[in-house]
Amino acid sequence: MPDLNKFISEFHHGFQHSNRFLVQIFVQPKMIANIIAAGSLLDAVDSTLSVGNVVKWLYTGLLATAARIPDRANLTMNHEMYGLTEKFPTHTAFTKFDVTFMMPHTTNIFNDNGVPRFFNNWQNQIQHLENGVESGLDFRFPEDYYSTILLTLMDSKDRGTITYQFDAAYPFAVDSYPVSWSVDNDYTKLNVQFNFSYWKVLPHLESVVLATVDSLVNKLI
């Protein structure tokens, strides 16, 4: 007979809250340097800005108000035999990864609204489109603009409960956002849609997750 008390004890520390999470983005140093250079042409960044400062800003400074863990599904094929149809998996399909960011007036990196500027410049590094058709419209190789993203769910004491790692990620769509005189005291938010090759769940041990973060940061600064 099942032990009801043992079952209840599993929830002694509570349930996962959907509003406690952290999104960390790790972009390649060369890409960050190009983004800094593009911003410097418009006097949008401090001339003393370094790749290391942007790395720290990305994994600690962007406030995400919403994110959705992508679907993962096995696409199947039918194998028909007499009187029965079996389904067998053929490959894995992932959906896009959506994250919604807040947009501060200024940041400690850029001198203006740095969140949309950063993602716009990142997309310009994927396809040269800084000055329209005069930019050439060429695309870079994927290895040049890929990044790694970590999504960590946390408990009430801000301890990580599970971490998802998205590899070969990049912003394929930066959504439009409305502005209106008729709306008072509302905050503007920027939704970014990321493509990626695959995601995986990191081991439960906190030290493993921290080691992953440290290794990613050390590669970038």
Domains of the chain: 18-220 (2.30.110)
Centroid of chain to Cα 220: 17
Q: How confident is the model at residue 62 (pLDDT cuts 50, 70, 90)?
A: confident
Band (pLDDT 50/70/90 cuts) for residue 2 is low
CB-based contact 189:64 (threshold 8 Å): no
pLDDT band at 184 (very low <50, low <70, confident <90, very high): confident
Q: What is the pLDDT of residue 195?
A: 95
pLDDT over 70 at 166, yes or no: yes
More confident residue, 114 or 45: 114
| CA dist list (Å): 203 to 79, 105, 147, 150, 177 | 36, 37, 20, 13, 37
| Paired residues of 139 in beta bridges | 127
Structure pTM? 0.83
| pLDDT at 158 exceeding the cut of 60 | yes
> Contact, 103 vs 116, CB < 8 A?
yes
- 42 pLDDT band, cuts 50/70/90, is very low
Percent of the chain, pLDDT > 90? Answer: 23
What pLDDT score does 91 carry? Answer: 87
Buried b (16+ CB within 10 A) or exposed e, 75-111: eeeeeeeeeeeeeeeeeeeeeebbbbbebbeebebbb
Evaluate if residue 47 carries a pLDDT over 60. no
* Residue 31 near residue 140, CB atoms below 8 Å: no
Name the residue with higher pLDDT: 198 or 10.
198
Identify the residue with better confidence: 181 or 197: 197
Compute φ and ψ for 92, nearest 5 degrees: -100, 140
Average the pLDDT over each of 21-35, 122-136, 137-151, 182-196 and give the range with the smallest value.
Answer: 122-136
The full length of the chain comes to 221
